[in-house]
Chain A
Amino acid sequence: MASTGKAVRPRVAVAKFASCDGCQLTLLDLEDQLLEIVTRFDVVEFPEATSRRSPGPYDVVLVEGSISAPEHLDQIQALRKQARVLVTIGACATAGGIQALRNWADHDAYRAAIYDHPEWVESLAKATAVSDHVRVDAELRGCPIDGGQLLELMTAVLVGRRPQIREEAVCRECKRKGIVCMVVASGDACMGPLTTSGCNALCPTYGRGCYGCFGPRTGANAKSWSAGLMQSGRAPEEVWRLFAGFTGYAEPFRSVLTELGKSKG
């Protein structure tokens, strides 16, 4: 595709399940590149941006949101059939998102507490990642995703190579930026060592520990980190909240939370 330029315009669809649309907005926020993107890609399906609809098949499908309602189950299967490359974008699609907090709670009690007519609300007991249901070709992490990574992914699709998306600890980005480690220098809580990079250490840059919104990186030693947090005097409830956040339903965070839940009784 690289040398043919505009001759072949990949058909792109952007779809969403249970989510806040923030990751889709990241695409729209790529203002400087937006014209080039729509020139090089045929964005045929993008309800957030246009009411024009177009059935598949699609070359690339960007999927936002978790599988959270009964109708999602069939929809994601149908979408997969229409997608040559399916990319999940954001913490909801890749890890279940913040709505997966209900996975540790009583689903019916939650519904009854919030809605006057809970019987009108159809939702699944657990919010899950798209990859729990269909094969996923690539993931963009984060809440929301990083525009640079999205652009790199789109570029890689056009050039025909693997996207150059490193999967390292957020600490690595922090150190390269010269940020003083707030865990060591201030005793703050931070999920950086366990969390996949890609945000360019956004929260630590602004003096806040990492929330873990990019989710656990491969091989994340969540067991040691949670044990260390408690050894430094943090209550299990506080550690639970640190791990729960946006990507708590992704392993190995999920196991830590399950263990902490057990210890809480």
Chain B
Amino acid sequence: MITNPVPGPTAVARQWFLARSDLDALIQALRKAGRTVIGPTVRDGAIVNDEIQSAADLPAGIRDEQAAGRYRLAERSDDRVFGYTVGPTPWKRFTFPPNLPIATAHLSGGFGFEQPHITAPQLAFLGVRACEIAALGMQDRVFLGSPFTDEDFRARRKAALIVAVQCTTCSSTCFCSSMGTGPEVRNGYDILLTEIDEGFVVQAGSPAGAAIVAHLPTRRPTHAETGAAVDSVEAVRTQIGEPLPIAGIDRRLQHQLDNPRWGIVAERCVECGNCTMACPTCFCTSVTERSDMEGRTATTERQWDSCFDVNFAKVAGGDFRARPRDRYRQWLMHKFSTWMDQFGSFGCVGCGRCITWCPVRIDVREELQVIAPVIQPVERPVAVEPVAASPGDFSIARLASVRQETEDTTTLSLTDMDPAFLAGRPGQFVMVALPAFPAVPISISRFHSNGIDLTIRAVGATSTALVNLHPGAKVGVRGPLGTFWPIEDAFGRHAVVVAGGVGLSPLHGLVEALVANRDRFESVSLYYGSRTPEDQLFRDDLATWSAGKAIDVAVTVDRAGPEWKGRVGVVTTLFDMMSCDCSRITAFVVGPERMMQASVQSLISKGVPPERIHVSMERHMECGIGLCGHCQTGRYFVCKDGPVFSLSELGDLYVREGI
């Protein structure tokens, strides 16, 4: 019966008890109703779905052991008849036959094409599991869910009565719980059996199912029996657990088209296509023409095909998916990503057949977790417990001195403050407020023995008020907040600092730390660009650093008067001076957004590993502790998870506009 869309579970479904010794009555009732019963039976060392005549054909007392590339039968310690999981036969075999004549053509007696008359056998599927019901539903959407339908499928699906069975055991290859398709059967059945020690708890899911059940020698189940049925299904869910973290995997995969793992798995894959043949949802086919020797009558037969076939995407001029990795990617991405776009669900039900029946033991769960890993929640070390951590709370500091850096930028030295501020790390920031002025985030540009420096560009109300303060004034501060420069990531490597304009401020403390620990790095370089010579920050320090041997300093300006003897051009033009092996660079980058993007792209193109490129992001921050929501960038709260990130943490968030 087509049971999709299906009614939800009825409030309190009527239940019956059927003794195991009476199971044959069900099979005979189905047969008497004119149906051929297809059910599990042992053949060639496996439990296949095939025609059965009686309950004696069922695999009583048999269980299966499944692992990647391995399937074995073994004996159970009881006489249960459904004490195993899914075997090699997907039910699509009976709704979507592997070989199907779809047309005949003839020249004799007039030119014409004819479609065969559709005759669907009246079948009963016995032993359909939750994942398999989900799979039938997925093929419903493929074949019947668009204006173009497969009428042969429709007829076969309609003619099949579904006797579902709750799973009371699982295999190592099962992951229905991850895919949301099982283990419990909730709908899509005509009759539902749950096997317990003495027999079966029976439910009907449709009038056709109820009519069959009415002929069976059932009785009302006891509470113990219905309880046991519920418990056994729950136990299976616990047993399966959550083998594949699925949330967002369709989107995660979309960003992994070039992941090198596709090539690695393709080296193992033998492209036999067994995964697609065993898959209960795969629906690709090809047609073959057969004709008489004259070519006057011909039949067209449709056959299961596979996207792993080397000819599957070929045209006369070449092959669109010429490499094995292309074909593997096509298959896996279809199942877990593009199927979602096409049909609104995953194309995988988690039955695990593709894992068990892969002769080279490829486990899709493993591949997915390597190719599109779940991004773990961000957990970052806290440098020091911040002072005044709640948004309305401020610690008081005194302004010790004020130094004009450029026309619009000023450095405030704060002192008489909580010692926790002094334990902060370069890259961190503080929230600074004055009475009646909203708090603003300001990065710490230098740590003193008795205070910190904040270098502030006067652009808003609070920052303008701050730079106009006089020594001795009081300010409210919260912090130190956020992440800091991972200086240890540059140990033994070339440390490269790239700054643009006031971006040197959050890097200033880092440069001082690099210089102080100079012997731990292969080299230390600073590339600094500003609009004009007059816009350079910390000119005294730049001069000192340039004069010393600890650090190579290169500066450039966008424009300058004739008195400027240095470089003119954007900061990336300085990168030509990098003569080292760029794969051994660890870079720290801050500046205006576009300058940072250009710098990062240039560094990557030179071979600097993305995980070794660290940037500090500027975003709208109000609370500084991940509560107000302003600074959210993708999955990050920039204030709490940043502002310092590695490029690999940011991924393509970094180059996207409007995030």
A46 within 8 A of B: no
Report Cα–Cα, A102/B65, bound state, in Å: 43
Report Cα–Cα, A172/B304, bound state, in Å: 8
Could you say which residues of chain A place their CB within 8 Å of the CB of B305? 168, 172
Q: Which residue of A is nearest B66, CB measured?
A: A184
> Known contacts A171-B272, A171-B274, A180-B46; is A224 also within 8 Å of B360 by CB?
yes
Could you say which residues of chain B place their CB within 8 Å of the CB of A158? 293-295
In chain A, positions 10-42 with a C-beta closer than 8 Å to chain B are 33, 36-37, 40
**In the complex the two chains form, is A152's CB within 8 Å of B269's CB?**
no
Q: Which residue of B is nearest A37, CB measured?
A: B293
Min CB–CB distance B87 → chain A (angstroms): 8
Report Cα–Cα, A185/B44, bound state, in Å: 8
**In the complex the two chains form, is A221's CB within 8 Å of B269's CB?**
yes
Report Cα–Cα, A217/B272, bound state, in Å: 11
Contact of A159 among B98, B295, B358 (CB under 8 A): B295
Report Cα–Cα, A98/B45, bound state, in Å: 32
A124 within 8 A of B: no
Could you say which residues of chain B place their CB within 8 Å of the CB of A36? 293
B69 within 8 A of A: yes
**In the complex the two chains form, is A181's CB within 8 Å of B292's CB?**
no
**In the complex the two chains form, is A155's CB within 8 Å of B293's CB?**
yes
**In the complex the two chains form, is A181's CB within 8 Å of B360's CB?**
no
> Known contacts A175-B98, A184-B359; is A169 also within 8 Å of B273 by CB?
yes
A218 within 8 A of B: yes
Min CB–CB distance A138 → chain B (angstroms): 16
> Known contacts A184-B357, A193-B359; is A225 also within 8 Å of B270 by CB?
yes
Q: In the complex, which range does the number of interface residues on chain A fall in?
A: 35 or more
Contact of B356 among A161, A168, A176, A184 (CB under 8 A): A184
Could you say which residues of chain A place their CB within 8 Å of the CB of B271? 169, 193, 219, 221
A5 within 8 A of B: yes
Could you say which residues of chain A place their CB within 8 Å of the CB of B295? 2, 155, 158-161
A203 within 8 A of B: no
The segment from B306-314, B492-500, B640-648 that touches chain A is: B306-314
Q: Which residue of A is nearest B303, CB measured?
A: A176
In chain B, positions 220-235 with a C-beta closer than 8 Å to chain A are none
**In the complex the two chains form, is A178's CB within 8 Å of B294's CB?**
no
Q: Which residue of B is nearest A181, CB measured?
A: B357
Could you say which residues of chain B place their CB within 8 Å of the CB of A217? 310
- Name the residue in A182, A184, A225 with the highest tally of chain B Cβ atoms < 10 Å from its Cβ: A184
**In the complex the two chains form, is B310's CB within 8 Å of A219's CB?**
yes
B151 within 8 A of A: no
Q: Which residue of B is nearest A225, CB measured?
A: B270
Q: Which residue of B is nearest A220, CB measured?
A: B270
A194 within 8 A of B: yes
**In the complex the two chains form, is A172's CB within 8 Å of B46's CB?**
no
Min CB–CB distance B368 → chain A (angstroms): 20
> Known contacts A175-B277, A175-B278, A178-B93; is A221 also within 8 Å of B71 by CB?
no
B43 within 8 A of A: yes
**In the complex the two chains form, is A228's CB within 8 Å of B310's CB?**
no
Q: Which residue of B is nearest A39, CB measured?
A: B293
A179 within 8 A of B: yes
For B234-269 the 0/1 string (1 means CB < 8 A from A) is 000000000000000000000000000000000111
Report Cα–Cα, A164/B300, bound state, in Å: 11
A212 within 8 A of B: no
B291 within 8 A of A: yes
Q: Which residue of B is nearest A172, CB measured?
A: B273
Could you say which residues of chain A place their CB within 8 Å of the CB of B267? 221, 223-224
Report Cα–Cα, A193/B296, bound state, in Å: 36
Could you say which residues of chain A place their CB within 8 Å of the CB of B72? 185
**In the complex the two chains form, is A180's CB within 8 Å of B48's CB?**
yes
Could you say which residues of chain A place their CB within 8 Å of the CB of B98? 175-178
A167 within 8 A of B: yes
- Name the residue in B44, B72, B293 with the highest tally of chain A Cβ atoms < 10 Å from its Cβ: B293
Report Cα–Cα, A52/B564, bound state, in Å: 101
Q: Which residue of B is nearest A165, CB measured?
A: B288
B593 within 8 A of A: no
Q: In the complex, which range does the number of interface residues on chain B fall in?
A: 35 or more
> Known contacts A171-B274, A175-B274; is A218 also within 8 Å of B310 by CB?
yes
**In the complex the two chains form, is A178's CB within 8 Å of B48's CB?**
yes
Report Cα–Cα, A5/B293, bound state, in Å: 9
Could you say which residues of chain B place their CB within 8 Å of the CB of A159? 291, 293-295
**In the complex the two chains form, is B45's CB within 8 Å of A185's CB?**
yes
In chain A, positions 197-230 with a C-beta closer than 8 Å to chain B are 207, 217-221, 223-225, 228
Q: Which residue of B is nearest A36, CB measured?
A: B293
A192 within 8 A of B: yes
Could you say which residues of chain B place their CB within 8 Å of the CB of A223? 267
Min CB–CB distance A212 → chain B (angstroms): 13
**In the complex the two chains form, is A176's CB within 8 Å of B304's CB?**
yes
Report Cα–Cα, A182/B44, bound state, in Å: 8
For B342-360 the 0/1 string (1 means CB < 8 A from A) is 0000000000000011111
Q: Which residue of B is nearest A221, CB measured?
A: B270
Min CB–CB distance A12 → chain B (angstroms): 13
**In the complex the two chains form, is A152's CB within 8 Å of B290's CB?**
yes
Report Cα–Cα, A166/B292, bound state, in Å: 18
Could you say which residues of chain B place their CB within 8 Å of the CB of A172? 272-273, 277, 304-306, 309
**In the complex the two chains form, is B304's CB within 8 Å of A166's CB?**
no
For A220-249 the 0/1 string (1 means CB < 8 A from B) is 110111001000000000000000000000
A73 within 8 A of B: no
> Known contacts A175-B277, A185-B45; is A228 also within 8 Å of B359 by CB?
yes
Q: Which residue of A is nearest B48, CB measured?
A: A180
Could you say which residues of chain A place their CB within 8 Å of the CB of B356? 184
Could you say which residues of chain B place their CB within 8 Å of the CB of A180? 43-46, 48, 88
A51 within 8 A of B: no
Could you say which residues of chain B place their CB within 8 Å of the CB of A2? 294-296
Contact of B292 among A155, A160, A184, A207 (CB under 8 A): A155
A44 within 8 A of B: no
Report Cα–Cα, A40/B293, bound state, in Å: 8
A263 within 8 A of B: no
**In the complex the two chains form, is B46's CB within 8 Å of A167's CB?**
no
B70 within 8 A of A: yes
Report Cα–Cα, A36/B292, bound state, in Å: 10
B99 within 8 A of A: yes
Report Cα–Cα, A179/B292, bound state, in Å: 29
For B39-54 the 0/1 string (1 means CB < 8 A from A) is 0000111101010000
Could you say which residues of chain B place their CB within 8 Å of the CB of A194? 270
B209 within 8 A of A: no
For A27-69 the 0/1 string (1 means CB < 8 A from B) is 0000001001100100000000000000000000000000000
> Known contacts A158-B293, A181-B88, A185-B44; is A167 also within 8 Å of B272 by CB?
no
- Name the residue in B270, B296, B311 with the highest tally of chain A Cβ atoms < 10 Å from its Cβ: B270
For B286-328 the 0/1 string (1 means CB < 8 A from A) is 1011111111100000011110011100000000000010000
Could you say which residues of chain B place their CB within 8 Å of the CB of A161? 295
A183 within 8 A of B: yes
**In the complex the two chains form, is B70's CB within 8 Å of A168's CB?**
no
Min CB–CB distance A35 → chain B (angstroms): 11
Report Cα–Cα, A160/B272, bound state, in Å: 31
B89 within 8 A of A: yes
In chain B, positions 324-383 with a C-beta closer than 8 Å to chain A are 324, 356-361
A136 within 8 A of B: no
A-B pairs, top 6 by smallest CB distance, nearest first, are A175-B277, A159-B295, A193-B272, A176-B98, A171-B272, A180-B44
Sample of 16 more A-B contacts, CB < 8 Å, known A169-B272, A221-B271: A158-B293, A166-B288, A167-B310, A176-B304, A177-B98, A178-B50, A179-B44, A182-B45, A184-B71, A185-B88, A192-B272, A193-B270, A193-B272, A228-B268, A228-B360, A228-B361
Could you jot down 27 A-B contacts, CB within 8 Å?
A36-B293, A152-B290, A155-B291, A155-B292, A158-B295, A161-B295, A168-B305, A168-B306, A171-B273, A172-B272, A172-B273, A172-B277, A175-B304, A181-B71, A181-B357, A181-B359, A182-B44, A183-B359, A184-B71, A186-B44, A186-B45, A192-B272, A193-B271, A193-B272, A219-B324, A224-B269, A225-B270
